[in-house]
Structure 1
């Protein structure tokens, strides 16, 4: 199923709002998505608004695959509290 209706809860200031999301695209099954994504980011780079830069990334030591933030857990390097998804819930900030 490529398209599903969802309800998104958004925070605006101190208020929570629920809004209908009328289309949700599963990118792994959407054939034109990868080329559209490349075109979008290439146009950003060409405009001078952003520039590619090298940086650190978390890699699985066994498979060599990139670890998405949602797949990562451990201790916050700043306060040592347990974290998940690349955010420290104690500090309420990215790790």
Structure 2
């Protein structure tokens, strides 16, 4: 039989790993997908005078990465509070 602490720890790590999985998938799609694979299709759309594929490869992925960092921090704070492992 598992103890309540072990179940709580497993639930915490499951939530943490789920969040990390989503973030890594988004990171891959934006950097590799939009910047390399979908670049020719995105180049028909222009943003600020530049093709969108070029923009994602050069600057868009950086903006998305920054957004992911802040989203990760906010979600981890929420997960920490839900599992009562937050810092005061």
- TM-score of the alignment, normalized to the shorter chain, above 0.5: no
* TM-score under structure 1 length normalisation: 0.21
* TM-score under structure 2 length normalisation: 0.22
Higher strand share: 1
More relative contact order, 1 or 2 (CA 8 Å, 6+ apart): 2
Higher helix share: 2
